[in-house]
Chains A and B, each alone.
Chain A
């Protein structure tokens, strides 16, 4: 299990950091004279951040604009087909049609599939001699998350983790101190009913996105594992069962919001629930949307056990096949990782995984606390049916938390079904 934290991150990258920060402005030797090379970058940030900031472009597009403004050799066009699934689907379609995209934002959980099924190009192959100097901007521990058998399969970029967002106004009205409530699961369980009363009996906590993501952080924080070191899907450990039971018990008490993924966020925004577990990357969008005081907190602990949240997000994968495209893709990556490019990107709310000194956004502290304590990689689902395995496990998490099955039954069935998929 890869652990990484902010101290090693800064230390490891500091030496090369200075060198890397200048690379964005380095002239490109392999430039061709017959006009810029056009490459496409598929990513998920088609929607502007919203609220007051809505008038501006998403930082992803700002990075691309800034790059195009300074490059004479390469033009990057931005393509936003939708969510991660739709982005991969489009990449898949275009690869099949012999029209490969140069760059595609690829979720961590799909790294094995990108390697085995989509023929992702290792960064070493496009970087050549410049690999060490450029990639040194990224902390070695984060870099190891994209390492498959010695090959770096992508550029860690959109790095996030789940955190607890809360409605500070409601907590105050309920007379609940967030520091107490989110300290550990025991105190969460005792404080949550007070919040529930303040909400008029509504559920308190919503765990959003695909349920497998928050489940990983919760199970790991109790010392359990999703996939063990041998690559075996092992969610039936006593620790994992206990962690899952904790949420299932919240549901029994009516504290857990069973809503669909699409319903959870509107409910939180409307003030109908008080806690939303979601990506730190949603900070900007949520802040713009809510009418109450928004707070963030790290995951509650299990007693004195160390917190072990999962990372999340996506890396930039290179799928270009001819040399011009690869060179152009690399030129863009160098800019994206330069201090200038990365500073623009940091407006998103994603975590800083470079050695650059970039101010922390208010609310991000919770995520950096988790980063300092050590984030694990998101589960790398193996095999050609990686997405299916992940979705199936997510469905069982949903069922267990909503008490559709008991913890023991549910985990047993999950192991059977997931194993039959990844076999």
Chain B
């Protein structure tokens, strides 16, 4: 097929095609450079001495690169604690979301029960409730429960924001062959057993993608932890970052801030780089179509 095509394609058209591709590469490369350009400054600043951060002329690279900003960041602020908080909150949120989403997605995909359509609609409808609408009442509720400055206060109210994942998993489960489920039924498996023994092993890629997206979402959460975690030690990386420059009376610590930013950026970036093919495949399989 391939040789056939090139055999019958006139050379002019082939040249045109490769020129077109080259152009596309160029466009994409320009966009990529624009996209990662801010990261360049983050890295460069993380290794700069304090007096090189803001200069009248652009200082592209540190003149005397220093590691100092990294230990400094950890010495001035509880960055290690913030890192741990971010990690724990993200991991627990991810686990929580999977634990509630997978069974529900299975029920919506494969089971008939009273009010199933209504319940599914109620779940999907949460997608159109802007997050900020529930911020004030949830803040009051978390405060009443005494969950201020706790992981629970951040995690539990964010768990139900999982409608997209339920939908994704439901679509994924629907692509499984019906025979697979029927075979389990004939063997006398209960619904629960079917879910755990048959469905879950077969949707592992889907679960993995949900886990990654949920992790990234939780890692980057901003407004909610900003409100709930007001103790210095209880902050996450995303919300603690501002301390480096927030006190106008003190020197502004851009270097240590960018060192912390670098640390905060690495885990999600590596995670995504490793998983990106899987994410696209899952979207393809589940056919996200409104």
Binding site for B on A (CB under 8 A): 44-51, 54-55, 58, 79-83, 86, 89-90, 93-94, 96-97, 99, 208-209, 262, 265-267, 269-272, 278-279, 281-282, 284-286, 288-289, 291, 348-349
Contact = CB atoms under 8 A, between A and B. Distances in A.
A46 B182 CA distance: 62
A289 B50 contact: yes
Contacts of A89: 227, 230
18 contacts: A46-B247, A47-B246, A47-B253, A50-B252, A50-B253, A54-B72, A79-B231, A82-B242, A82-B246, A90-B231, A93-B230, A94-B230, A97-B148, A269-B252, A272-B56, A279-B248, A279-B249, A289-B251
B251 A50 contact: yes
B247 A270 contact: no
A50 B250 contact: yes
B246 A83 contact: yes
B138 interface: no
Nearest to B247: A47
B143 interface: yes
Contact of A45 (B54, B139, B244, B247): B247
Nearest to A262: B245
Interface in B132-151: 139-140, 143-144, 146, 148
A97 B243 contact: no
Contacts of A81: 230-232
A15 to B, nearest CB: 33
A289 B245 CA distance: 12
A81 B242 CA distance: 11
A143 to B, nearest CB: 24
A58 B250 contact: yes
Nearest to B232: A80
B187 interface: no
B76 interface: yes
A317 B41 CA distance: 42
Interface in B72-103: 72, 75-76
B55 interface: yes
A55 B68 CA distance: 12
B251 A94 contact: no
Could you say which of B139, B232, B248 has the most chain A C-beta atoms within 10 Å of its C-beta? B248
B51 interface: yes
B249 A285 contact: yes
A349 B140 CA distance: 39
A48 B148 contact: no
A97 B249 contact: no
Contacts of B230: 81-82, 86, 89-90, 93-94
Interface string B204-232: 00000000000000000000000100111
Contact of B249 (A51, A82, A282): A282
Contacts of B250: 45, 47-50, 58, 284-285
Given A46-B232, A265-B252, A267-B54, 8 more contacts: A51-B50, A54-B72, A58-B250, A96-B140, A266-B54, A269-B54, A279-B248, A289-B50
A46 B249 CA distance: 11
A50 B245 CA distance: 10
A-B pairs with the 7 shortest C-beta distances?
Answer: A50-B251, A47-B247, A90-B230, A270-B54, A285-B250, A47-B250, A266-B54
Given A80-B232, A93-B230, A47 B51 contact: no
B32 to A, nearest CB: 28
A47 B56 contact: no
Could you say which of A47, A54, A83, A267 has the most chain B C-beta atoms within 10 Å of its C-beta? A47
A54 B76 contact: yes
Contact of B243 (A47, A288, A289): A47
A79 B232 contact: yes
A203 to B, nearest CB: 13
Interface in B143-174: 143-144, 146, 148
Contacts of B148: 93-94, 97, 99
A328 B276 CA distance: 56
Nearest to B248: A282
A391 to B, nearest CB: 17
Nearest to B244: A47
A289 B56 contact: no
Nearest to A313: B249
A402 to B, nearest CB: 20
A208 B248 contact: yes
A44 B247 contact: yes
Could you say which of B54, B244, B247, B252 has the most chain A C-beta atoms within 10 Å of its C-beta? B247
B56 A82 contact: no
A289 B110 CA distance: 64
Given A269-B54, A271-B56, A284 B243 contact: no
Could you say which of B76, B139, B242 has the most chain A C-beta atoms within 10 Å of its C-beta? B76
A51 B50 CA distance: 8
Contacts of B76: 47-48, 54
A54 B251 contact: yes
A51 B254 CA distance: 12
A402 B245 CA distance: 25
A99 B139 CA distance: 15
B248 A278 contact: yes
A18 B122 CA distance: 71
Contact of A348 (B55, B231, B249, B253): B249
Nearest to A291: B51
Contacts of A79: 231-232
A266 B54 CA distance: 6
A118 to B, nearest CB: 15
Nearest to A58: B250
A284 B54 contact: no
Contacts of A265: 248, 252
A285 B232 contact: no
A45 B249 contact: yes
Contacts of A45: 247, 249-250
B204 to A, nearest CB: 41
Given A46-B232, A47-B76, A270-B56, A97 B143 contact: yes
A420 B274 CA distance: 56
